[in-house]
Structure 1
Amino acid sequence: MKYNIPILLLLFFAATANSQISRQFTVDVTRAPVWSDTRSSVFTGTFTIRDIPEPNKRVKVGYTLEVIKELPESAFAKEDWALRLYYYDNVVQVLGDTLFVWPGPHYRGQIYTGSFEFMPLVSGNWDITFYYQGHEGYLLPSNYLKGISLQWCIDEDGTIHYLGPKRYDIERTCENARVSFFSKDSVFFKLFPEQRGQESFEYEIMVAPLPKIGDTSTILFDLKANKDIPEGCRIDLHTFGLTLPIPPDKLSPPFYKGQEILYVVKIVPMSFRDEHRITLILMQNGEFDNNHLTQAIGCSMIFDDDNNLRYFCRSTDGLPENKYSSRLPEAGSKIKPRRLRLDIDQDKINDRWEILRHLEKQK
C-alpha cells in the first residue's frame, strides 16, 4: 500500500513534531473554514489520529472537546451531556462504545477528552461526527445541536488522499467509488445505511474463499424482510461472467416482515475481460398493478491479470474505467447473462448456518 504523504501533510491542519516517526497527526477542528458547521456548534476541539488509516486496520483517535459558547442558566448547562459518535456503520467499523457522557455542569472553556477506535471498510469520502444527542424537553437553539467531524477520503486501492475537518469541497473531489476492502480469506459486504428500512430486504453478503478465476467460491446472501413479500412475487438470479457448478435453490415468496433467509450460491468466475456480477432481483406483482423492479441485491467483482480478486463492490459506479476493463490477459468467449427463477429449500438451512458461522469467524 502506498501513501501520498506530501498531500497528506498539505491537507492536514496541523501535525505533531514526531509525525515522521509515529505517523501521529492532530486535526484541529477549531480552525475549520467560516462556512463550515463547526462555527455554529456549542463545542469544538481536536482529533489526534495515532496512525494513518488503512483498510481493515484499527486506528485509535483521541479527542479534546471545548465549550466555546456562553451557556444560559438552564438544565442544559447543568446536567450531563450525551454525545453520540455518528458514522456510516456499513463503511466503517467503530470498535467500542459510540455514546459518551460529558459530565455537567458546563461552562465556556470547559474541556472534555477521550478516545475511540475505528476501521475503514469501504473506499470513498466518509466522516465520523461527534454531536449532541439532545435531551427530551430541552428547547435549544438549532446551532447548539451541530457537531464536529473528522473526514477522510480513501481510494479503492487503500490510499488516503485527505484526512482532516469536514470540508464540502472534498466531497466533490474525492473519488466516488465504493469498493469493499477484504481480508486474505473472505469478503463481507452490507447494505448501505442510507437505504436501510426503505428496501424490501436488508442484506449482508459474505464470500469465502476469495473469488479467483477458475476456482469455486461460496456466496452467502443473508436476507431479512423489511415488509411482507406476497405470494406471486418473483425472485430471479442474474449472473454475468460466472458459472454455477451446482444449481442453486429457488426462492419463492411469501416472506413475512422480519423473516430471515440464508441463501447460498456457489460460483466459478470465468476468464473474461469485464466485471463479473451476481444479482438477486425481486419483482413484485399480484396485488400490485404490474410487474416492476423493486430491489436488486448483488455485487460486482473485478479480477486482475493474475486471476486474483482486485476489487469487490456493489457496482462499478464511480470506479475509473481503466480499473475494471481489460484487466485479464485474454478475453473469454462472449458471455450472456443467466437468469434463474428461485424457490427456497428449507431442508438445507442447517448447511447455510454452518457456512455463516465459518465466515463469521474470519471477519
Structure 2
Amino acid sequence: MAVDYIIIGQGICGTWIGYYLLKENKSFIVIDKGNLQSASHAAGGLINPVTGRRVVTTWMAEALLPFVWKEYIAFGSALNLHCIDQKNSLAFPSATDLQQAFMERIKQQNSFIQQPSVSRETLRHAFNFPFDVFEINPCYVIKMQALLHAFRAHLTEKNILREEVFDENELQEGEGFIDYKGIKATKIIYADGICSSQSRYWKNLPFVQNKGQALVIQAEGLNASYTYKLGHLTLVSLKDNVWWAGSSNELDFTTAAPTEAFKARTTALLQSILKKDFTVTGHWSALRPATVERRPFIGFHPQYKNVGILNGMGSKGCSLAPWFARQLVQNMLYDAPLDALADVSRFAKALSR
C-alpha cells in the first residue's frame, strides 16, 4: 500500500494535519489506538489570550485568534459540525497582586481585558469573590470531544485510519520513503503527544511532561454563555449543567492517574467560590507534551529528512495546532518557511547525537 504520508496520532495535532492534507487532496494513513485519556481528549478546549499572574498576552494571540475562529468554522462546515463558540472569560482575581495586574492592563488599554459585560450584582448570586471581576474578550471554546470524534468517524469512513498502537520497531527508512508494516509513504509525521518523547528520533528534544487534572461537575444555575476563571481554576461548560473544572499544571508527580489530593483540593475551592450546589461526576488526568522553551516542535529531523514532527503544544493545543499544522503542510507541499521559534531544526545538534 502506498500513500503520501503517515500520521502518528489523532489528537488535536494529528487531526489538523489530516484536515489540511485532505484539503490538498493528498493521501495518508492515520495510526492511532484511540486513547481517551490523551491530553487532547481531556482538555477543556478553552482558547484564552491572556495568561499568568502578570496577566500577559499569550504568544501570537493577535494573529491566532482571528485565524482559529475562521479555521474552526471551516472545519465544522466541512464535517457538518458546530465546534467553536465565543465564550468570554469572567476572571475573578484570587489575590491583591492579581487584582492589580488586571487593573494595570486596563490602564494600558490591553485590547483583551475590559470591565465585565454582566453586572457584579448578578454574578454575586452564583459566586463568592473577595476582589473584583474582569472580562477577557474574546475567548473561544472548542468542542474537543465532538471535533475529535467527528474527524475520527470521517477517517474511518474513508478507510484511512488504523486503530492500533504504533510500534516504532516496525518502521524503516529508505532513500526518500518510509515503510511501516507494508505501508509505504514519502514522509511520516509524529503527532502523538508525549509518546514522541520516547521515540528514537525525537527523544533528545527538550520535552517536559506536564500533568493536568480536571474535574467534571454538574451544577445548575451558572450562565453557560461565559467561561469562568477562578484563581488558577477555570470552569468551561461541556453541555447543559455539566462543567469542566481544571486544570492543574504539575511538573512533579508520581503517577499519571487522577489523584484524590487534586479532587479534594479542587472540590474545596469550588465549595468556597460557588454559591450553587454541585456534584462531581468525573475526574480526568493526562500528560501534556510541553517543552522547556514553551514553544512547539515542528519540522523534519536533520538526519532523517522524511521523519517529521508536530508536537509540544503544551496547554495551548487548541490555538497552536491549526496554525502550525497548516504551516507544516505548506512547508511539505510548497516549501513554505517554518516559524524559526518553532522549527525543530533549532535542536539540530541535539537531534544528531
Question: Could you state the TM-score of these two structures normalised by the residue count of structure 1?
Answer: 0.24
- Structure showing greater Rg: 1
The structure with more helix, counted as a fraction of residues: 2
